[in-house]
């Protein structure tokens, strides 16, 4: 007896796959904010954090996953390249507004690296403000006297995937 192998109905499988894709909807295009980003080279966040003085005052382009967005005005987002290599992208209030639902998405951002030198009082005030935005409290009792150095990108543009 000759057995025939069952044949897969490929046209039907292909049609079903195409139908599933159509029902899923079109892929969302990346959103551009501010000036957008230039097609230049991306600088590693880890490299910037390892040698910040080499980049302070320089325009750089970074990319990674958005881990936080300002919950009140969308005036900043934090981008992480790795668990420990992350940087805040701060934009002018009301000029660029990052969507609060961008957390978890990929982003490319461009701006000038700033190094802010804050007194203990300024740093505690800033950290308290950030904690309040998250509905948390900040205890600065274990901080040293400072000054404290905060690195951030003064953002001019971004693209969120």
Each residue of 100-151: pLDDT tens digit?
A: 999 999 999 999 999 999 999 999 998 998 888 888 999 988 888 889 999 9
Cβ atoms within 10 Å of 127's Cβ, excluding its own: 17
Kind of pairing between the strands at 106-118 and 86-90: unpaired
Q: Render pLDDT for 29-78 as a digit per residue (tens, 0 to 9).
A: 789 999 999 998 999 999 999 999 999 999 999 999 999 999 888 999 99
How far apart are alpha carbons 101 and 49 in whole angstroms? 27
Query: For residue 5, what pLDDT is reported?
Result: 52
Please give the tally of structural domains in the chain: 1
Q: Which two tokens stand for residue 123?
A: 């740093």
pTM, two decimals, is: 0.77
Kind of pairing between the strands at 76-80 and 59-69: antiparallel
Domain that holds residue 81: 31-160
- For residue 136, the domain's CATH number is 2.40.50.140
Q: Is residue 21 part of a domain?
A: no
How far apart are alpha carbons 152 and 159 in whole angstroms? 17
Q: Is residue 5 part of a domain?
A: no
Query: For residue 1, what pLDDT is reported?
Result: 52
Q: Is residue 18 part of a domain?
A: no
Half-sphere CA count of 20, side-chain side, radius 13 A: 6
Q: Is residue 1 part of a domain?
A: no
Q: Would you place residue 7 in the very low, low, confident or very high pLDDT band (cuts 50, 70, 90)?
A: low
Q: Is residue 113 part of a domain?
A: yes
């Amino acid at each position: 007896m000759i057995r025939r192998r069952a044949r897969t109905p490929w046209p039907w499988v292909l049609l079903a796959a195409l139908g599933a894709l159509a029902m899923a909807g079109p892929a969302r295009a990346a959103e551009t904010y501010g000036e957008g980003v230039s097609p230049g080279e991306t600088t590693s966040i880890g490299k910037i954090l390892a040698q910040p003085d080499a980049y302070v005052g320089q325009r750089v382009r970074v990319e990674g996953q958005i881990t936080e967005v300002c919950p009140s005005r969308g005036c900043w987002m934090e981008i992480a390249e790795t668990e420990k290599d992350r940087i805040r992208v701060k934009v002018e209030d009301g000029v660029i507004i990052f969507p609060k639902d961008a957390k978890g998405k990929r982003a490319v951002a461009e701006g000038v690296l700033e190094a802010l030198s804050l007194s203990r009082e300024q740093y505690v005030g800033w950290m308290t403000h950030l904690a309040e935005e998250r509905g948390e409290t900040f205890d600065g009792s274990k901080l040293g006297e400072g000054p404290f150095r905060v690195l951030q990108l003064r953002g001019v543009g971004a693209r969120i995937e």
